[in-house]
Amino acid sequence: NTGIKESGVSLSIGKRDFIQGWEGYYSYFNSEIGILRASHIGNIDDLITAINSDVPSVVNDFTYDISQPYQEVSHHLGKLNYYRRFEGFGKWTLQYDFQKNRRFEYDIRVGDDADKASL
């Protein structure tokens, strides 16, 4: 379970001429990253055992599914830009940027907490 699933989209729109112009931009990116279950250790003894082992402690059949443990990451990015030229004064530019990032880690859990993110 070390796969990755990614998706994303971006959009840009605007209008420009010499005197003034504007532009809007939006981007979204999402990924699910599978983590090798055998890489989870509980203490130093587990680490030493894992290093000295010839095979991982957990070996599952191949699947395209990403299950616990994994990370889910999403990024939103937005940008607005406006400019205007003033005769004898120069060019003024106004820009606003926004970014929102979210990351959840889903560890191996049982019972009612199986689908809840670990904090």
Q: What is the pTM of this model?
A: 0.70
Distance in angstroms (rounded) separating the CA atoms of residues 7 and 5 = 7
Please report which helix (H) or strand (E) contains residue 5, including its range.
strand 4-16
CB distance 75 to 29 below 8 Å: yes
SS3 (DSSP) at 44: helix
Lookup: tokens for 65: 């599914």
SS3 (DSSP) at 81: strand
In tens, the pLDDT along 40-59 reads 777 888 888 888 888 877 78
Exposed/middle/buried for residue 5 (C-beta within 10 Å: 0-12, 13-18, 19+): middle
pLDDT in tens, the chain (119 residues): 578 999 999 999 999 999 999 999 999 999 999 888 777 777 888 888 888 888 877 787 888 888 888 899 999 999 999 999 999 999 999 999 999 999 998 887 666 766 666 65
